[in-house]
């Protein structure tokens, strides 16, 4: 017997051949007008038919064509997510980035007018989901967690996997998972008619989808159909530079300045690689032109980070450790620059239209992933009247967010990518050329509201010679121990046979399994152990989970939780090299450049001197503040983070405290949320083991500090470096090191030669940002547990770039043998 339909459900359009249901939505005229022009709206019938007739559909449409905002609404209108309809389960939409999950949920909610409350989002630290939710936006990490809880995803009737072209690890795994869940739900529904089959839509902004459509292991019932939403993109004129400047931030300043003076009204979007560059350019533009008066809180607050990974470690840390990545910003990138040409350049700013009055104010807004959400959302607000909107963004703005009113794109052609050497475990942040696909995405951002222009800060020769067609999927560039453990504990033992869109390398898999065995998470024959099952319940890298697992000695658990939160969030401190650079140095650079810009600074003025003095004081204050956090233990960087977390917990005004102590407020907020979340998980795993969460945590005792060092080392048991001159076979050391950062340590690497199997030893050195760098060479400890290795360009004075380690703690030999007793250090 059929239940009566809720009144809001009526029989109308959708699929005429079926008894379809629909939910009426009344949109405001303004919203309606904006939707009509979207390519995806023009293809509604075609898209919905494909979804009705297939369990998996791939939709391709250029960025801005309406995929993310419109598809969930089509589905909602045809009954998906509404109780009583044939598809009452939720509409789930996944995003690789938190920013996109939040802002897209807000936009769709707004477009749905009276049904606004049917839309919610869930990200690692926040959820707006309620009983009324029909459409849930979330990061792909959140959905992976939900799969671990219910492999059939019974809550959902349809999953939209967005931005699939970005090929993040989580997205790739998710696609592999849902390809199996679709089959499972089909057989479940055949047994139990109350369970509906699951539908899946994969959405991509590029046509590089053959990894999904032509992968025989992925969708067994044959390749899913592709629906194309014809882009009604306005034409974008591409202007290549004649020259490719090495200093592209400088180049961007010159080009944007000239563009502002010469170009007709229209918003500008400038692509850079990281937030330090964005801050630098923002400051210079605001100095050169009159900024708008709208309050810009980012100026007042110190929000610095060197870590501007293109994809953040989002809600499920499947990858490696997201540690203090500070420091990679102070090295020069080594870019191959070609295509230099001395001819006079036509920059393409003369469009034959009337330029904007050059006294027009500039409305400069930053946009990058670590910016507080509230600040990020400002790019969607209309700029003040009679101003030019200038958005300075990382590749966050490349495909996920559509910023209204952009007519001009300035593309530096580079991005900062986390690279990870699967053989050696050495990670690095490299600024490198983007792919042609990315360059075209960036250019496309100029053609949303009308014909636009893209100014490429590189030559067509560089573009042709050095740009790859597409970027490699992330799974080929990242540690995957979290992925492997997650899969094994879901019962997918044979990871090598998992239907990955692009399978990870054998070396990557082998390295992950070896670490998991060392952590005790896998047995010798690769089966998940009791410990492994435990570890997989934490939304963390297995290393951190291991620390929590053994954290209940000497009342250490609250400290271990705080420490793990600190390390997992990373980048807690504003570092010396992230304070503004002295003017006296800038002056030198400026006079070197052949700029014809009249806003260029040429002299070192009295005002500069005063600024430099202030900066020097600031730098001293920073050093003094940070010293307070290492007063109990001046050799362990990890315990310095813990101290800072403890101190922050006592502050009545966290933000003020962070500013005063040169801490990154956003990171501390996240760490606090993570502490809370982890406390809850530990409590639910072992009731009574820790008290309920409280931010206040007194400094650990001496005994606890000792235990904490051992606990940290247990999580990083394969990352202990031994002082080279004390090692059994010391390598050749040319001369006695003069600085602590020149003292060689040995660690075990898997050799790249010798078919990747034999072990060779290579020297590594402490990173200058570590507390240990302040010691004398003689004081340097015998052992150092480190979080990761990084290969960077040479520091001044180094002939060849050294591999630098980021130390965590200094364990004693006794502690090491105690740990090794349980898990062997070297196989
Ligand atoms: P896609 O997912 O295909 O890239 P979207 O659905 O994100 O496209 O965007 C479709 C259109 O909706 C954009 O072109 C833009 O004009 C509009 N839009 C999206 N988000 C907002 C917003 N926050 N404010 C105003 N307009 C928006
Ligand atoms: Mg989108």
- Provide the sign of the torsion angle of the four alpha carbons 242, 243, 248, 252, taken in this order: negative
Q: 61 in ligand 1 pocket by Cβ < 6 Å?
A: yes
**What pLDDT is stored for residue 633 in this prediction?**
84
Q: 67 in ligand 1 pocket by Cβ < 6 Å?
A: yes
Instruction: For tokens 């992230």, name the residue.
Output: 578
Element (H, E) at 338: none
In percent, how much of the chain has pLDDT > 90? 44
CA of 148 to the centre of ligand 2 (A): 26
Instruction: Among the bound ligands, name the one nearest to the CA of residue 62.
Output: 1
> Given the DSSP bridges, would you call strands 406-411 and 783-791 parallel, antiparallel or unpaired?
unpaired
Residue located nearest, by CA, to atom 14 of ligand 1: 64
State how far the alpha carbon of 255 is from the alpha carbons of 246, 261, 450, 459, 666, in Å: 14, 10, 22, 14, 32
The region of weakest confidence among 64-78, 180-194, 734-748, 783-797 is: 783-797
The atom of ligand 1 lying closest to the CA of 400 is 4
Give the residue-averaged pLDDT of 41-66: 92
CA of 162 to the centre of ligand 2 (A): 7
To test the pocket of ligand 1, the residue of 64, 73, 446, 452 to mutate (highest count of ligand atoms within 8 Å of its CB) is: 64
CA of 370 to the centre of ligand 2 (A): 20
Instruction: Among the bound ligands, name the one nearest to the CA of residue 63.
Output: 1
Instruction: For tokens 């730098």, name the residue.
Output: 619
Q: 376 in ligand 1 pocket by Cβ < 6 Å?
A: no
The atom of ligand 1 lying closest to the CA of 70 is 6
Q: 380 in ligand 1 pocket by Cβ < 6 Å?
A: yes
Q: What is the pTM of this model?
A: 0.73
CA of 504 to the centre of ligand 2 (A): 26
Outline where DSSP puts E strands in 241-295: 267-271
Give the residue-averaged pLDDT of 751-774: 68
User: Is the per-residue pLDDT at 147 higher than 60?
Assistant: yes
- CA 266 from chain centre, in angstroms, equals 30
CA of 243 to the centre of ligand 1 (A): 34
Give the residue-averaged pLDDT of 179-198: 93
Is residue 78 a contact partner of residue 45, using CB atoms and an 8 Å limit?
Answer: no
CA of 163 to the centre of ligand 2 (A): 6
CA of 405 to the centre of ligand 2 (A): 17
CA of 417 to the centre of ligand 1 (A): 26
Q: 448 in ligand 1 pocket by Cβ < 6 Å?
A: yes
Q: 38 in ligand 1 pocket by Cβ < 6 Å?
A: yes
Residue located nearest, by CA, to atom 12 of ligand 1: 66
To test the pocket of ligand 1, the residue of 69, 234, 446 to mutate (highest count of ligand atoms within 8 Å of its CB) is: 69
SS3 of 677-732: the string is HHHHHHHHHCCCCCCCCCCCCCCCCHHHHHHHHHHHHHHCCCCEEEEHHHCCCCCC
User: Is the per-residue pLDDT at 523 higher than 60?
Assistant: yes
Instruction: Among the bound ligands, name the one nearest to the CA of residue 59.
Output: 1
Q: At what angle do helices 98-111 and 67-77 cross, to 10 degrees?
A: 50
The atom of ligand 1 lying closest to the CA of 104 is 20
CA of 95 to the centre of ligand 2 (A): 9
Q: 64 in ligand 1 pocket by Cβ < 6 Å?
A: yes
**What pLDDT is stored for residue 416 in this prediction?**
85
The region of weakest confidence among 98-102, 722-726, 772-776 is: 722-726
pLDDT band at 672 (very low <50, low <70, confident <90, very high): very high
Instruction: Among the bound ligands, name the one nearest to the CA of residue 95.
Output: 2
Q: 404 in ligand 1 pocket by Cβ < 6 Å?
A: yes
List beta partners, residue 122. Answer: 127, 138
Element (H, E) at 397: helix 396-399
Q: Determine the Cα–Cα distance for residues 121 and 93; give it in Å rounded to an integer.
A: 9
Which range in 147-161, 283-297, 420-434, 712-726 is most confidently predicted, on average pLDDT?
A: 147-161
Order of all β-strands in the sheet with 236-240: 236-240, 452-456, 406-411, 267-271, 387-393, 361-367
List beta partners, residue 200. Answer: 56, 159
Residue located nearest, by CA, to atom 13 of ligand 1: 64
pLDDT band at 650 (very low <50, low <70, confident <90, very high): very high
The atom of ligand 1 lying closest to the CA of 399 is 4
**What pLDDT is stored for residue 798 in this prediction?**
55
Secondary structure class of 370 (helix, strand, coil): coil
Q: Which two tokens stand for residue 809?
A: 């703690």
Q: Determine the Cα–Cα distance for residues 423 and 426; give it in Å rounded to an integer.
A: 8
**What pLDDT is stored for residue 748 in this prediction?**
62
Give the residue-averaged pLDDT of 180-206: 93
List beta partners, residue 453. Answer: 237, 408
User: Is the per-residue pLDDT at 306 higher than 50?
Assistant: no
Residue located nearest, by CA, to atom 25 of ligand 1: 404
Q: 378 in ligand 1 pocket by Cβ < 6 Å?
A: no
Q: Determine the Cα–Cα distance for residues 200 and 183; give it in Å rounded to an integer.
A: 11
Express each pLDDT in 542-598 by its tens digit.
Answer: 999 999 999 888 889 999 999 999 998 888 998 776 666 555 544 434 333 333 333
**What pLDDT is stored for residue 487 in this prediction?**
84
Q: Determine the Cα–Cα distance for residues 249 and 239; give it in Å rounded to an integer.
A: 18
The atom of ligand 1 lying closest to the CA of 449 is 16
**Torsion over CA of 692, 698, 703 and 707, rounded to 10 degrees?**
50
The atom of ligand 1 lying closest to the CA of 62 is 3
To test the pocket of ligand 1, the residue of 228, 401, 402, 449 to mutate (highest count of ligand atoms within 8 Å of its CB) is: 402
> Cβ neighbours of residue 224 under 8 Å, at least 6 residues apart?
54, 56, 57, 58, 202, 212, 213
Q: 68 in ligand 1 pocket by Cβ < 6 Å?
A: yes
Instruction: Among the bound ligands, name the one nearest to the CA of residue 94.
Output: 2
CA of 28 to the centre of ligand 1 (A): 16
Residues in the chain, total = 827
DSSP assignment of 200-249 equals EEEEESSS--HHHHS-TTT-TT-PPPEEEE---PPPEEEEE-SS--S-HH
Q: Determine the Cα–Cα distance for residues 137 and 121; give it in Å rounded to an integer.
A: 4
> Given the DSSP bridges, would you call strands 406-411 and 426-433 parallel, antiparallel or unpaired?
unpaired
Is residue 434 a contact partner of residue 414, using CB atoms and an 8 Å limit?
Answer: yes
CB-based burial of residue 419 (10 Å sphere; 0-12 exposed, 13-18 middle, 19+ buried)?
middle
**What pLDDT is stored for residue 349 in this prediction?**
80
Express each pLDDT in 409-456 by its tens digit.
Answer: 999 999 987 766 655 566 666 788 999 999 998 998 998 778 999 999
For residue 200, give the nearest of 166, 229, 164, 240 by alpha carbon. Answer: 164
**What pLDDT is stored for residue 612 in this prediction?**
79
CA of 366 to the centre of ligand 2 (A): 20
The CA-CA-CA angle for residues 718, 723, 725, to 5°, reads: 140
Element (H, E) at 790: strand 783-791
Residue located nearest, by CA, to atom 24 of ligand 1: 380
**What pLDDT is stored for residue 594 in this prediction?**
34
Start-to-end CA distance of the chain, whole Å, equals: 65
Is residue 54 a contact partner of residue 198, using CB atoms and an 8 Å limit?
Answer: no
For residue 287, report the phi and psi dihedrals to the nearest 5 degrees. Answer: -80, -30
Instruction: Among the bound ligands, name the one nearest to the CA of residue 163.
Output: 2
Instruction: Among the bound ligands, name the one nearest to the CA of residue 70.
Output: 1
Average pLDDT over the chain, rounded to whole? 81
**Torsion over CA of 148, 151, 152 and 155, rounded to 10 degrees?**
-10
Residue located nearest, by CA, to atom 10 of ligand 1: 66
User: Is the per-residue pLDDT at 753 higher than 90?
Assistant: no
The Cβ of residue 496 has, within 10 Å, a number of other Cβ atoms equal to: 11
Q: 69 in ligand 1 pocket by Cβ < 6 Å?
A: yes
**What pLDDT is stored for residue 807 in this prediction?**
96
Q: How many helices, marked H, and strands, marked E, lie in the chain? A: 27, 23
CA of 375 to the centre of ligand 1 (A): 18
For residue 392, give the nearest of 487, 476, 286 by alpha carbon. Answer: 286
Q: 81 in ligand 1 pocket by Cβ < 6 Å?
A: no
Q: 241 in ligand 1 pocket by Cβ < 6 Å?
A: no
CA of 160 to the centre of ligand 1 (A): 16
pLDDT band at 254 (very low <50, low <70, confident <90, very high): very high
- Provide the sign of the torsion angle of the four alpha carbons 461, 462, 463, 465, taken in this order: positive
DSSP category for residue 124: T
Instruction: Among the bound ligands, name the one nearest to the CA of residue 232.
Output: 1
Task: Compare 771 and 399 and report the one with higher pLDDT.
Answer: 771
Q: 65 in ligand 1 pocket by Cβ < 6 Å?
A: yes
Element (H, E) at 598: none
Express each pLDDT in 225-242 by its tens digit.
Answer: 999 987 657 889 999 998
pLDDT band at 216 (very low <50, low <70, confident <90, very high): confident
Buried b (16+ CB within 10 A) or exposed e, 516-548: bbbbbbbeeeeebbebbebbbbbbbbbbbbbbb
User: Is the per-residue pLDDT at 759 higher than 50?
Assistant: no
Q: Determine the Cα–Cα distance for residues 764 and 116; give it in Å rounded to an integer.
A: 55
């Amino acid at each position: 017997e059929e239940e009566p339909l809720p009144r809001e459900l009526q029989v109308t359009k959708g699929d005429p051949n079926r008894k379809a249901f629909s939910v009426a939505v009344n949109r405001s005229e303004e919203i309606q007008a904006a939707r009509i022009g979207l390519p995806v709206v023009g293809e509604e019938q075609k898209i919905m038919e494909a979804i009705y007739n297939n369990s998996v559909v791939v939709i391709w449409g250029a960025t801005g064509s309406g995929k993310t905002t419109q598809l969930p609404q089509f589905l909602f209108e045809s009954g998906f997510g509404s109780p009583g309809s044939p598809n009452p389960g939720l509409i789930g939409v996944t995003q690789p980035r938190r920013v996109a999950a939040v802002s897209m949920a807000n936009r769709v909610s707004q477009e749905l007018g009276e049904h606004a409350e049917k839309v919610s989002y869930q990200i690692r630290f926040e959820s707006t989901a309620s009983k009324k939710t029909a459409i849930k936006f979330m990061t792909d990490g959140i959905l992976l967690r939900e799969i671990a809880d219910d492999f059939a995803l019974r809550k959902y009737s349809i999953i939209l996997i967005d931005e699939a072209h970005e090929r993040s690890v989580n997205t790739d795994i998710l696609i592999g998972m849902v390809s199996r869940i679709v089959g499972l739900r089909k057989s479940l529904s055949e047994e139990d008619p109350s369970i509906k089959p699951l539908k899946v839509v994969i959405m991509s902004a590029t046509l590089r989808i053959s990894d999904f459509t032509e992968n025989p292991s992925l969708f067994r019932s044959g390749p899913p159909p592709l629906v194309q939403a014809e882009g009604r993109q306005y034409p974008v004129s591409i202007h290549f530079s004649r020259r490719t400047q090495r200093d592209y931030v400088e180049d961007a300043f010159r080009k944007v300045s000239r563009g502002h003076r010469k170009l007709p009204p229209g918003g500008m979007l400038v692509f850079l690689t990281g937030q330090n560059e964005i801050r630098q350019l923002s400051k210079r533009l605001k100095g050169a032109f009159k900024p708008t008066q709208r309050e810009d809180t980012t100026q007042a607050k110190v929000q610095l980070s060197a870590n501007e990974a293109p994809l953040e470690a989002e809600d499920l840390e499947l990858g490696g450790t997201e540690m203090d990545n500070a420091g990679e910003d102070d090295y020069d990138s080594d870019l191959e620059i070609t295509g230099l040409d001395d001819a006079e350049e036509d920059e393409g700013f003369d469009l034959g239209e009337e330029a904007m009055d050059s006294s027009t104010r500039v409305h400069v807004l930053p946009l990058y992933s670590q910016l507080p959400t509230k600040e990020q959302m400002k790019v969607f607000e209309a700029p003040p009247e009679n101003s030019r909107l200038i958005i300075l963004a990382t590749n966050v703005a490349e495909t996920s967010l559509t910023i209204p009113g952009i007519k001009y794109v300035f593309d530096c052609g580079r991005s900062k990518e986390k690279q990870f050497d699967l053989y050696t475990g050495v990670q690095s942040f490299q600024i490198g050329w983007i792919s042609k696909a990315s360059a075209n995405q960036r250019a496309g951002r100029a053609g949303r509201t009308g014909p636009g222009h893209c100014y490429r800060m590189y030559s067509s020769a560089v573009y042709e010679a050095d740009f790859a067609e597409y970027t490699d999927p992330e799974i080929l560039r990242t540690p995957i121990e979290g992925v492997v453990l997650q899969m094994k504990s879901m019962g997918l033992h044979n990871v090598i046979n998992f239907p990955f869109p692009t399978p990870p390398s054998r070396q990557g898999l082998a390295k992950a399994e070896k670490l998991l065995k060392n952590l005790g998470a896998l047995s010798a024959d690769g089966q998940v152990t009791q410990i492994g099952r435990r570890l997989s319940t934490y939304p963390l890298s297995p290393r951190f989970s291991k620390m929590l697992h053994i954290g209940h000695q000497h009342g250490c658990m609250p400290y271990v939780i705080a420490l793990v939160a600190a390390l997992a969030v990373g980048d807690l401190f504003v570092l010396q090299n992230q304070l503004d650079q002295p003017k006296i140095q800038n002056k030198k650079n400026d006079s070197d450049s052949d700029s014809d810009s009249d806003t260029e600074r040429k002299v070192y003025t009295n005002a500069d001197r005063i600024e430099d003095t202030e900066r020097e004081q600031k730098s001293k204050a920073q050093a003094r503040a940070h010293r307070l956090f290492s007063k109990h233990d001046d050799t362990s960087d990890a315990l310095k983070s813990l101290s800072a977390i403890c101190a922050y917990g006592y502050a009545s005004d966290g933000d003020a405290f962070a500013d005063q102590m040169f801490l990154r407020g956003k990171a501390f907020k996240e760490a606090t949320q993570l502490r809370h979340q982890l406390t809850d998980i530990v409590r639910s795993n072992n009731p009574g083991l820790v008290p309920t969460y409280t931010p206040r945590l007194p400094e650990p005792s001496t005994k606890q500090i000792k235990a904490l060092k051992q606990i940290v080392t247990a999580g990083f048991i394969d990352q202990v470096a031994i002082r080279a001159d004390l090692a059994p076979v010391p390598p050749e050391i040319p001369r006695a090191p003069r600085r602590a950062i020149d003292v060689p340590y040995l660690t075990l690497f898997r050799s790249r030669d010798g078919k990747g199997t034999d072990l060779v030893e290579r020297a590594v050195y402490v990173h200058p940002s570590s507390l240990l760098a302040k010691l004398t060479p003689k004081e340097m400890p015998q052992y150092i547990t480190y979080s990761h290795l990084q290969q960077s360009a040479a520091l001044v004075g180094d002939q060849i770039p050294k591999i630098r380690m980021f130390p965590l703690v200094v364990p004693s030999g006794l502690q090491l043998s105690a740990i090794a007793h349980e898990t062997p250090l070297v196989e």
